[in-house]
Amino acid sequence: MDRKHIINDPEIGNKAEAYEAFDDIPTNPHLENTIGDVIAARYGRREVLRGMLGVSAATTLFGTSALVAPTAAKASQQSESRYKFDELTWGNDEKHHIAKGYEADVLLRWGDPIMADAPEFDVMNQTAAAQLKQFGYNNDYVGFTPLNAEGTRGLLCVNHEYTNEEVMFPGLGRQDKQGFTGMTRDLIDIEMAAHGGTVVEIAKGADGKWAVLRDSTLNRRITPLDTAMILDGPAAGHARMQTKADPSGTAVIGTLNNCAGGMTPWGTWLMAEENFHGYFWTDARDADGKPDLSAHADAASMKRYGVPGGWYAWGQHHDRFNIDKEPQEPNRFGWVVEVDPRTPDAKPVKHTALGRFRHEGCETTVSSDGKLVIYMGDDNRFDYQYKYVSNGTVSYTADQNTDLLSDGTLYVARFDADGSVHWLPLVHGTGPLTAENGFASQADVLIDTRLAADALGATPMDRPEDAQPRGDGTAYIMLTNNTRRKADEINAANPRAKNTFGHIIEIKEDGDNHAAIKGTWSILVKCGDPEIAEVGAQWNPETSENGWFASPDNCAFDADGRLWISTDQGSKWGKTGKSDGLYALETEGDLRGHSKLFFRCPVGGELCGPYFTDDGETLFLAVQHPGTDGTKSLKGFERASTFEDPATRWPDFDPKMPPRPSVVVVTKTGGGKIAG
Ligand code: FEO
Ligand code: CA
């Protein structure tokens, strides 16, 4: 059987670029052309920010950046930046850079031992058994939950999104163009063991430096190779969730492509499953050599999600990733997974109530009436922004919140040209979500969340990545880019055709209540170089040449309610010449829309995290796939990286070691609040 790769494009240099190319293929056939005048950004708007009961107690006990004390985010008129640091100069080279007066120390690298009995990393002789006990690859989301009142000891929770074989394995080279001929079962199992997540205990020493506690019994790896998980919520047990290995439809092994995420107010960790489609395989081909789904009853559903993507060869050795052999396994991926990091033997739970799509993040907050609210993007061109609202109210005790992620309402956003946003409920029997339209039950609505959202008339967006609520009814939505949007496809909330550089939308929910079904929206910034008129960027005019950015991806609030944005330009970073990095973006006062550069990545890396501790003195950052993206744009290098010949060997700079995705911990030299 010809196992030629589905996409065989000479321009595709590695897995990250392959994903990007796939993202260029919109799977939403229901594009609406709600053309209207672009809403002028309502700069200078003031909202009365109100308090939220229980915040202080919750942050002390459980430490989540989702619960930012609203007093800290107070609207104010100011002409001085609220972020006190001297901005970094833009650029791109093989090292990372941090603003003057700060330290950026590498805390965890791919292969570092996590379990007490883990072997030391031996990159030339890696095994799946070793990788299962070591830090995984491509760290994306980083969360932290403290184990003591001072917050000096706690659990770091890290997602491992995917793998880049060409820089992981000696002598392998690029697989995307080679039909996976080099991918043995052993290498595939290492890849699988390098996906998933890590829980690791860390502590801050007297010198102010954080260190890994390797002997902690709470340390844990979660992988798609061997971690048993539970499916719960309305789709659990449904006939479409059943497989040969699991006739109950309630038990699944592992999690895939965990991108951004979130921490709940009660200290559990949410892992978002993003590009799950890429892991599924078929041998059936049509006359054009494309996957032939004609034998599948679920073909319309599969097509809408891009299943099978064929980006990994796992299906050649693990039948459950081959849809010819196990057609319903893909239905068990694309969810949000909850992990209790304090209980290492507790099975993670996939919560089907939160919908199935390419989940980018799942940042939580508590509404003014006490409900759990989660903002979630579906990262594909022309896909949607979602929000989940629990039926019950939040308690700050973990064992009292067992239903909040199972019993609630999932909504999808419609952004209207009059500046209003309407949250449309994805509830079976409501509007078009009926059996006549193919949704026989709530399980069908959730398994086919994208088709249900199409039917409701949601607004097709420019790739919704992370979204961050602030606890005061405000949320920020990262729209990273969408070069495929044509002039007749713009809408008010996505106003640029061929949107190469992305934009950020601010939502203010009615009554400052995150659970509201209506709110208003405005565009905070339109990204790209403000000096080039055709780009159509929109920044506060005080923003310097160092401060503007492109392709906002992840975001976080610090302890003072200030917004920070990390970027992922993918292989297209050559269009700006800037490496990806972390930016401080003003949301209030007369500097609203002003951005400053704080940290930048080594070449070819995207920046993930970010996560601030509750005292605002520590910032965790994740540098993902250093040395891989768009290295043909690096002057003097100008070629694709491989294990033997990478554009950088960050962070070790050891000639025997390839680049390693790593978590970086940022502190102020001599201590104190970051940017304070
Ligand atoms: Fe995994 Fe959408 O970034
Ligand atoms: Ca992301």
**Ligand 2 center to residue 187 CA distance, Å?**
25
pLDDT in tens, 541-588: 999 999 999 999 999 999 999 999 999 999 999 999 999 999 999 999
CB 550 within 8 A of CB 576: yes
Give the number of the atom of ligand 1 that is nearest the alpha carbon of residue 606.
3
Secondary structure class of 123 (helix, strand, coil): helix
Q: What integer pLDDT is reported at residue 25 of this predicted model?
A: 57
Angle at 173 between CA 124 and CA 7, to 5 degrees: 140
Banded model confidence at residue 400, pLDDT cuts 50, 70, 90: confident
pLDDT in tens, 3-62: 333 333 444 445 656 666 655 555 665 543 222 222 222 222 222 222 222 233 333 333
CA torsion sign, 42 to 45 to 51 to 55? positive
Question: What is d(CA 623, CA 608) in angstroms, rounded to the nearest whole number?
Answer: 6
**Ligand 2 center to residue 566 CA distance, Å?**
9
CA torsion sign, 71 to 73 to 79 to 82? positive
Q: What integer pLDDT is reported at residue 26 of this predicted model?
A: 57
pLDDT in tens, 414-425: 999 999 999 999
Secondary structure letter of residue 89 according to DSSP? P
Give the number of the atom of ligand 1 that is nearest the alpha carbon of residue 463.
2
Ligand closest to the CA atom of residue 608: 2
pLDDT in tens, 138-154: 999 999 999 999 999 99
Angle at 19 between CA 14 and CA 24, to 5 degrees: 125
Number of H helices and E strands in the chain, helices first, is: 9, 29
Question: What is d(CA 427, CA 579) in angstroms, rounded to the nearest whole number?
Answer: 43
Q: Which of 261, 229, 66 is nearest to 157 (CA)?
A: 261
Residue reference for tokens 């790769």: 5
Q: Which of 113, 124, 141 is nearest to 376 (CA)?
A: 141
**Ligand 1 center to residue 274 CA distance, Å?**
7
pTM given for the model: 0.91
Ligand closest to the CA atom of residue 142: 2
* Residue 180 CA, distance from chain mean position: 27
**Ligand 2 center to residue 237 CA distance, Å?**
30
Give the number of the atom of ligand 1 that is nearest the alpha carbon of residue 568.
3
Ligand closest to the CA atom of residue 16: 1
pLDDT in tens, 650-673: 999 999 999 999 999 999 999 999
Of 466 and 18, the structure prediction assigns the larger pLDDT to: 466
- Going by DSSP bridges, is the β-strand pair 228-232/251-253 parallel, antiparallel, or unpaired? antiparallel
Banded model confidence at residue 211, pLDDT cuts 50, 70, 90: very high
CB 628 within 8 A of CB 167: yes
Protein residue with least CA distance to atom 1, ligand 1: 259
Ligand closest to the CA atom of residue 20: 1
Secondary structure class of 535 (helix, strand, coil): helix
Residue reference for tokens 């007490």: 116
Residue reference for tokens 């996957």: 291
Angle at 130 between CA 128 and CA 133, to 5 degrees: 110
Ligand 1 site, CB within 6 A:
161, 259, 274, 360, 379, 465
Question: What is d(CA 608, CA 223) in angstroms, rounded to the nearest whole number?
Answer: 20
Residue type present at position 501:
F
CB 422 within 8 A of CB 411: no
- Between 168-172, 284-288, 378-382, 643-647, the lowest mean confidence (pLDDT) is in 284-288
Give the number of the atom of ligand 1 that is nearest the alpha carbon of residue 379.
2
Q: Which of 209, 228, 201 is nearest to 115 (CA)?
A: 201
**Ligand 1 center to residue 674 CA distance, Å?**
26
Give the number of the atom of ligand 1 that is nearest the alpha carbon of residue 358.
2
Q: What is the dihedral of CA 31, 34, 40, 44, to 10 degrees?
A: -70
Ligand closest to the CA atom of residue 258: 1
Question: What is d(CA 256, CA 192) in angstroms, rounded to the nearest whole number?
Answer: 9
**Ligand 1 center to residue 60 CA distance, Å?**
31
Residues 6+ apart with CB under 8 A from 273: 255, 256, 257, 258, 259, 333, 334, 335, 336, 337, 358, 359
- pLDDT of 326 > 60? The answer is yes
Secondary structure letter of residue 675 according to DSSP? T
Residues 6+ apart with CB under 8 A from 125: none
> How are the residues of the chain apportioned to helix, strand and coil, as percentages rounded to the nearest 5?
15, 30, 55
Q: What integer pLDDT is reported at residue 21 of this predicted model?
A: 60
Give the number of the atom of ligand 1 that is nearest the alpha carbon of residue 377.
2
- Between 70-79, 398-407, 470-479, 516-525, the lowest mean confidence (pLDDT) is in 70-79
**Ligand 2 center to residue 551 CA distance, Å?**
10
Q: What integer pLDDT is reported at residue 29 of this predicted model?
A: 55
**Ligand 2 center to residue 261 CA distance, Å?**
9
* Residue 472 CA, distance from chain mean position: 23
Ligand closest to the CA atom of residue 260: 2
Give the number of the atom of ligand 1 that is nearest the alpha carbon of residue 274.
1
- Going by DSSP bridges, is the β-strand pair 349-351/228-232 parallel, antiparallel, or unpaired? parallel
Half-sphere exposure of 674 (CA within 13 A, CB side): 32
Give the number of the atom of ligand 1 that is nearest the alpha carbon of residue 360.
2
Give the number of the atom of ligand 1 that is nearest the alpha carbon of residue 257.
1
Give the number of the atom of ligand 1 that is nearest the alpha carbon of residue 140.
1
Helix segments in 181-313, DSSP class H: 185-194, 299-305
**Ligand 2 center to residue 211 CA distance, Å?**
26
Give the number of the atom of ligand 1 that is nearest the alpha carbon of residue 162.
1
**Ligand 1 center to residue 574 CA distance, Å?**
19
Question: What is d(CA 16, CA 628) in angstroms, rounded to the nearest whole number?
Answer: 8
Question: What is d(CA 242, CA 247) in angstroms, rounded to the nearest whole number?
Answer: 5
**Ligand 2 center to residue 607 CA distance, Å?**
9
- pLDDT of 65 > 90? The answer is no
- Going by DSSP bridges, is the β-strand pair 251-253/258-263 parallel, antiparallel, or unpaired? unpaired
**Ligand 1 center to residue 436 CA distance, Å?**
34
Q: What is the dihedral of CA 590, 592, 594, 598, to 10 degrees?
A: 120
CB 123 within 8 A of CB 658: yes
Of 535 and 26, the structure prediction assigns the larger pLDDT to: 535
Q: What integer pLDDT is reported at residue 230 of this predicted model?
A: 98
CB 172 within 8 A of CB 643: yes
- Between 167-171, 312-316, 394-398, the lowest mean confidence (pLDDT) is in 394-398
Question: What is d(CA 614, CA 55) in angstroms, rounded to the nearest whole number?
Answer: 12
Give the DSSP letter string of 308-372. ----SSHHHH-GGGBTTT-TTGGGG-SSEEEE-TT-TTSPPEEEGGG--S-B---EEEE-TTSEE
Ligand closest to the CA atom of residue 610: 2
**Ligand 2 center to residue 409 CA distance, Å?**
24
Ligand closest to the CA atom of residue 141: 2
Q: What integer pLDDT is reported at residue 179 of this predicted model?
A: 80
Question: What is d(CA 238, CA 427) in angstroms, rounded to the nearest whole number?
Answer: 17
Residues 6+ apart with CB under 8 A from 135: 108, 109, 110, 111, 112, 113, 114, 158, 198, 200
- pLDDT of 78 > 80? The answer is no
Q: What integer pLDDT is reported at residue 290 of this predicted model?
A: 87
Question: What is d(CA 83, CA 427) in angstroms, rounded to the nearest whole number?
Answer: 43
Question: What is d(CA 227, CA 416) in angstroms, rounded to the nearest whole number?
Answer: 43
**Ligand 2 center to residue 606 CA distance, Å?**
9
Of 68 and 489, the structure prediction assigns the larger pLDDT to: 489
236-267 in b/e form (b: 16+ CB < 10 A) is bbbebbbbeebeebbbbbbbbbbbbbbbbbbb
CB 400 within 8 A of CB 299: no
- pLDDT of 606 > 80? The answer is yes
Q: Which of 137, 143, 145, 212 is nearest to 662 (CA)?
A: 137
Q: What integer pLDDT is reported at residue 19 of this predicted model?
A: 62
In what helix (H) or strand (E) does residue 584 lie, and over which residues does it extend?
strand 581-585
Question: What is d(CA 368, CA 190) in angstroms, rounded to the nearest whole number?
Answer: 46
Residue type present at position 647:
A
**Upstream peptide bond of 541 is cis (omega within 30 degrees of 0):** no
